[in-house]
Each structure stands twice: as C-alpha cells, then as structure tokens.
A and B are shown apart, each in its own frame.
Chain A
Amino acid sequence: MYSIILSTASSYLLLLLLMFSAFLLLRGHNEPGGGFVGGLVAAAAYALYFIANGIDAAQRIVRVEPQRIITAGLLLAIVSTIPSLVTGEQFMTGTWFDTGVPLIGKVGTPLLFDLGVYFLVLGITLQIIFSLAEEDKS
C-alpha cells in the first residue's frame, strides 16, 4: 500500500525526528532524555520512513548496514573508557573538558559513551526491523 501523502511527509518527518533524537541525546544529561531513548526515536524515524516507502528506500537512506552501526556504537562506548585507563584513575571515571563556548559548555567522555549507546540502540532496532522486512520480501 503506497500513500503519496505519507511518503512525502515521511521525508520531512524523518529529518525532524532525527533532529529531535539528537536533541534528546544532548539534553539527556540535564533534562529527561539520553542516548537510549534518543536511539529509539531515531529508529522510529527510520521505521516511519520504511512504512511509507518500503524496505529498499529505507535501506538506501540509512546507507550503512545496521551491524556496522551496532559495532560503531559499541566501539564508541569502549573508546570512552580509554581516558580513564590512560590517566590511571578508577575505570570509567569521566573526563571533562571545558570548551568555554557558552552554548556547548563542558564536553566529556560520558557524552561519548551516551553517543555509543545511541548508535547501538539505533543499530539494533534497525537490524531487527530490516531483517524482518527482508524476510517478508523473500
């Protein structure tokens, strides 16, 4: 079933929802939000696009295979632990840098970690949706 309204809307909604998911990820440290829910929202955005335009179009717009997103997420999370190992502090102690820019403020390894969670959750959800959808196609 193809709906031209949904299809057209989904392209804009995708962008909006992805921006919203990034917003959730970034505000997570001070307000409700965070990597996990951000990743879920991003996945939902792609799922909406998939429903409107089909699996092939969705895979095209994601560009990379979901497994890679999972791997990237896990790697990011692990990379975020390296500074604590190097400085010899307790494992996974956060390291922070004050950028001095008013809007951005302080940036630290927990953000990197949260970004890892974000990508991992996004990757896993996409993985499940794509696998199931391809199952239907065949």
Chain B
Amino acid sequence: MLILLAIGFLASAAAPFFYKRFKEFFGWIAVTFPLYLFFGFLLNYPQVVSGNSVRESVPWMPSLGVNFTFLLDGLSLTFALIITLIGAAVFLFAGAYMKNYEHTSRFYVYIGIFMTSMLGLVLSDNILLMFVFWELTSISSYLLIGFHHHKEQSRKSALQALLVTGSGSLALLAGIILLYQVTGSFEISSFYDLNEVITGHTLYPAIVILILTGAFTKSAQFPFHFWLPNAMDAPTPVSAYLHSATMVKAGIYLIARMNHAIGGTALWQDTILIAGTVTMLFTALLAFKQTDLKKLLAYSTLSVLGTLTMLLGIGSKLAIKAFFIYIIAHSLYKGALFLVAGTLDHETGTRDVSKLGGLRKAMPVTTITAALASFSMMGIIPLIGFIGKETVYKSILELDYWGTFLIAIAVLANAFVVMITLLVGFKPFWGDLLPTPKKPKEAPLKMLIGPALLAGLGLLFGVFPDFFIARLLDQSAQSILSETLSLKIKIWHGFNLVLLLSFATLLLGGTVYLLRAKLLPRVQTLTLPGIVKPSAWYDAALQGTLSFARLQTRIVQNGYLRNYIIFIMVTAVSLASFSLYHASGKVTIVPDFSITFYEAALAFIIVVSAFILITSTSRLKSIVALGVLGLSIGIIFVIYGAPDLALTTFAIETLNVILFVLVLYKLPRFLKLSRSSNRVRDTVIAACVGVFMTLMVLFATSFELSSELKNYFAAASVPDGKGRNVVNVILVDFRAIDTLGEITVLAIAALGIFALLKLKPEREE
C-alpha cells in the first residue's frame, strides 16, 4: 500500500506533462488512475469480507514509534472504495468541466494529491501517519478552494477553511500526543485492548475533547460548520469530491476509528450525540434562504454529516448499521447531485435555482440522473437512501430517554433536506422553461457518465442491498464495535411506524417547499445577530489576532536598531542576573588581583580606546578606536592561550574596519540627535551590562566545573576525530551538526543583506 500511495503522489506530479500532450482527452487518461485503484481495492474485497484484514508495516522512524503501518479492514475498505469510485466520476467530469479554465493541469495535481492523501488517511493504522495525511488533505483542500485565486472571496474562503481545520488539527495532534502518553504507542490497532486503561486515565477528558475538536472542525460540525458553505467557491468537481463525498467525512471516520479505543463513556457518546443533533437540525434550517445550487447542497451535506455524527453518538448496533448505509448512500447521491449542479452551471451559465426551470427537454439524461439521485436523497423506495433513512429512524426509536425528542428533530431536519432536494433535483428541470445566460444544451458524454453511474449505483444497491453491501458492512461494524453484525438489510419492512415517519418527512418537506415561495422574501431580510453566529466569532478572532500582531510589531520591532539592542540587552541581563542572584549564596567570589605588566597595559589601551570611541565626534576616529579595542581583546586571547579564538578575532576585526570604512561616507554628517535623557538611559543600561558581565566572569572563574565533556573531547579528539586541534575537531566533527545549522543561518543572513542592499522598493513620494 505504501507503494500504491507513492505511485499516487508521483502520478499527481506527472499530471501536467501528460496534460500538455493530450489536452483533448485528458479526462479519459486521468480516470484510469482512480479506476485502477478502485479495482485494486476491489481485489481485496473477498479477503476482507471473510474477516481477514490486510496489514502492512514498513519502518519509518521506529525509535519514535512512527511507521508506515497500513490496515485494510472493513471500515477502511469502505472508505477506500468510496474515495476511488467518486474520484473516478469526478476526474472524468472535470475533464470536460475544467477544459476552459486556466491552470487545469494544476487542478489535476492538487486533486490527485488529495485523493492519494485521503486514501492514506483511511488506510493508516499509525495515528501519526494518519495525521500527516490529514494535514495533506487540508492543504490540498486549501489549494482547491482557492483555485480561482484571482478572486478575493475564493482566497478568503480558502484561508477560512484552512484556519478552521488547521487549528482543529493542532488540537488533534495534542490529543494524539496525550494518547501516546497514556498508551505508549501510536498504532491504532494496539489501542483496541486498552479501552479501560484509556477511559480510566486522568487525561481521558482532555484526550476526548482534543480529538473531537479535530474531528468536528474537519467534518464541519456545529459550531465549526461555517467554513463548508464558503468552501463552495471551489470548482464544482472539488465540491462534489472533497466537500461532500470524502474529505469532510474524515472527521467522522476518525470518530468511528477511535470509537472502539476511547469510546463507550458518557462523555464521548453524549458529546458526539449532541454535536451531531445540533448540526443536523441547525444547518438544515439555515438552508431555507439559500438560492445557490451549491450552497443548498452544502447545507444538506452539513445536515447529513450531523446525522452521521449523531448515529455514532447513539452507538448501538443498529445505529452503526445505519451509519454505514447512510455514508454509502450519501456519497453516491450527493456526488451525483453536485456533479449535476456543475453540469447545470456549465451548460446554462447560472447556479441560481430561482433562475432555472424546464430544462428536461434540453437535458434529458441529466434530468433522469438528477431524479434518481434526488429520490435516493429524499429516501424513496427502492433506492439506497430509503434504506438509509429507515435505518436511521429505527435506531433513533430504539433509544429510551431521548427517542421521541430526537425523532422529531430528525424528521424536521430531513424535511428540510427534502425541500433542498426538490429545489436542486427537480425545480431546474420541470415547470416552464426559464431564460438562462447560456442557451441550455445537453452536456458532453464525459460529464454525463460519472453522475449517471453514481445515481444508478444508488438504485442498484437499494434493490440488492444484501448482495452488494451487507457483507462489507458486517466487517466495517466490527472495526467500530468489535462485534460482528449480522443484521440482514432489507428494503421492505412492512407497514410500520418507521414507514409512516418516512411518509411524514416527505409530506412535511413538500409543504415546506411550497411555503418557501411565500416566506422567502420575508426570511431573506432576517439576519441573525452576530453574537450567535460562529462565523462572526471566527472573523472577530482573526481580526483580533491581526491587530494584536500589528500592535506587537509596532512595539517590539519598530525599525530602530537602538531599540532592538535595548530590548535584547535588558531582557538578557535581567533574566540572567535573576538566576545569578539565586545562585549567589552558594559561591564565594575570590577575585585574583595578581596582574602582570602586559595585562595592565592592555587594560589601559582598552579603556582609553573605549573612551575615545564614545566621546569622539569623528566617525573615522571612532572606527579606529573600535579596531584598537578589538585587536587588544584578541591579544588577551593570545596571552591566555586561545590561539584559535585570537586568530579569528584578528581576522574579524580587520574585516570589520574595512566594512565600516565602506559605509562611512554613505552616512550623513555627524550630528548629536539623541536627547540627554536618552543618553542617561543608555549609560545606565550600558553600565548594567558591563557590571553584569564582570560579575558573570568572576562568578564563572570562581569555581571549578567538573566537566566530563572537556575530558571526553580531549581524549577522543585524536582517536575518533583524527585531529589534535580539539576546538576544530569539535566544530567539524563532534558537533558538526551545530556548525551546519550555523552556516545555514549565515547563508540566509547573506541573502537578507543582499535583499536589503539591492532590492530597494521605490520610495513613496
């Protein structure tokens, strides 16, 4: 599987080269890639449904417990098949849809990377590896939402999606690390027997909250739902693929995957249940005033994501069964409907549902596809959506306490989804023909196959559920609950309460749809106050961060070199003297007053040149004084037996003087600009630094450090480093990685100097 993923990334990288050659039929070439993967995974189907999951492990960083461990069990196989199948439909569709866009080859690169990382995400058994893929999907989503990067709105939406999911994934990472502290492992399958250990640990609540934050942001659960409708700025194939069928289900996948290890407690189940229910209802209601096809679909996706989360929260056998049927059903019909919306946009030039109508004659195939997918979405016999909805209702009714309350919410939310379906799947095709910006015509073959296939599969799975999905479902449930499920899936349960509820939903949905025409003008003027809108919180947080950053930059980095030096000096001295003060009791400083003639002479030279340096009114004189000062210090190094240091000091001081002379006559005439109060302040700071350094040196020389390193380096220098100059051997061998870091910093600093001197922006007049 590692090789498969590597091929995926390579193929994505190679896409532009192929695109240039075979522009016309690139869609057909691209589709082979997900199809190949799809059939590859299908080959594993018999083995997985017979209960033997496929596991592979290649060491990556074994000492840290991070490995390329992949696990293909029921849960990951289900997701992998969905990802590759919808991927195939989308790749083919995009071949025609994206033809007249700029940078189409780039689109294929991004979406190829996305598909591969999404596969990696669901296949990883190592949770850190999964996290890497998790972030990769976020990044490719960012690039795809911002695909129309010349539009400000697109860039804003892309950034919003990235920030929301990105901050969530930081929480997830923290959760993963805490989990590691409890279990000592990153392998998800090793958590399976540790449920009691984890749930009993004091860190457990923190783990749950952090991991769920990651999952909720990714799967756009309330209150993080707002990024998903904005993500509709992406090209439609992207919305169909990432933002309805696959990526937004990653959070739900994570909850499902971790359910076994850290689930089963009230905290876990209730949090998921409540978040899911709120999302399901709230987002369905929000859809009411939307008119954009894709926004409508996005809100219905949100509602479904809420339902899925709720089902995991219920967590009974039946709920898990409903969860899987619903995921498969939703991926099929929503993928199809999104692509239909894309077709409409492409062929008529508008996505506004109020401007579309009567297209059935011009676009017959699309009409049928849309109808099939819509029936599934509304839950009409005999499509898979019907089984899904029936099972959802049944699993809610099983609940003791909240059953009645929840079922009411579920029916209401689903009624709104029915309304959305009528708007998206039927209104554009039936009724009177409305004028559109472009003359409507049937879409090309490439854009018809994908959605028709998905919608058709919805019908096929609905009629023969046992044959297609039942066995996979049993295995998938085992991944979540660790008990095998063998509930038969049937399409017809007879006349009962559940069927009645299904009818009620349809009826209510129809009523809402009819009422919508009248209510819409009134509702559209309503806006929620900012305080209850999570998107307003996001805006406030973003603005707050930006203005804080500006404020901080203004204070700390105001462009005056003298202020930087003051900051650095004062901070360093005050922090260091604090710890020096604490240690002062333990050591008695014994100054050594025996001074030789050379030392006294050097000290005299240093003091005099320092005095000249600060009092002189000629720059040249100051520079010469600085040079004298530096060279005198170099001589001190010679006296005390540090020839390496002395050599370097001499060289540096020489070059320093040359550099100073070079900039000297660029500077304005010498002026006294600083106020006397500033000079007093500077004197005080300078004196503090001087006194501190003196104390520091006295302190350091007052007691013998018993350093083993010194002895080690001295002893190992010749045998291990093959050199007698210990300093140099340390620099280029023992601690070479430090040196490598330092010279890299130097190289970057050189680039900075180059930029400062050469790239002068035009001065503002």
Contacts and interface: CB of A to CB of B under 8 A. Distances in A.
B644 A131 contact: no
A70 B740 contact: no
B687 interface: no
A52 B651 CA distance: 19
A124 to B, nearest CB: 4
B721 interface: yes
Contacts of A135: 666, 757
A37 B724 contact: no
Given A41-B651, A116-B743, A124-B746, 14 more contacts: A29-B724, A30-B725, A31-B724, A67-B754, A71-B747, A92-B736, A92-B737, A94-B733, A110-B732, A113-B732, A121-B743, A129-B659, A131-B757, A135-B757
A47 B743 contact: no
A92 B729 CA distance: 13
Question: Which of B722, B732, B736 has its CB near the most chain A CB atoms (within 10 A)?
Answer: B732
Question: Which of B655, B658, B736 has its CB near the most chain A CB atoms (within 10 A)?
Answer: B736
Nearest to A67: B754
B732 A40 contact: no
A92 B740 contact: yes
B658 A129 contact: yes
A124 B728 contact: no
Given A32-B643, A37-B644, A129-B659, A70 B750 contact: yes
B549 interface: no
B743 A74 contact: yes
A77 B753 contact: no
Nearest to B644: A32
Contact of B743 (A30, A110, A117): A117
Nearest to B736: A92
Given A31-B724, A70-B750, A73-B743, A44 B655 contact: yes
B758 A94 contact: no
Interface of A: 24, 28-37, 40-41, 43-44, 47, 51, 66-67, 70-71, 73-74, 77-78, 81, 91-92, 94, 96, 106, 108, 110, 113-114, 116-117, 120-121, 123-125, 127-129, 131-133, 135-136
B634 to A, nearest CB: 12
Nearest to A28: B728
Contact of B753 (A91, A120, A127): A127
Contacts of A81: 740
Interface residues of B, number: 39
Contacts of B721: 94, 110
Label chain A's interface by main secondary structure. helix
B648 interface: yes
Contact of B725 (A29, A51, A73): A29
A40 B666 CA distance: 25
Contacts of B14: none
Contacts of B749: 124
A70 B745 CA distance: 12
Nearest to B718: A30
Q: Shortest 7 CB-CB distances between A and B: which pairs?
A: A40-B651, A29-B723, A32-B643, A30-B724, A110-B732, A131-B757, A124-B750
14 contacts: A29-B728, A33-B644, A34-B725, A34-B728, A40-B648, A41-B651, A67-B750, A92-B737, A110-B723, A110-B732, A123-B750, A129-B658, A132-B662, A136-B662
Contacts of A34: 644, 725, 727-728, 731-732
B540 interface: no
Contacts of A71: 747
B744 interface: yes
B654 interface: yes
A50 B560 CA distance: 32
B576 interface: no
A116 B743 CA distance: 9
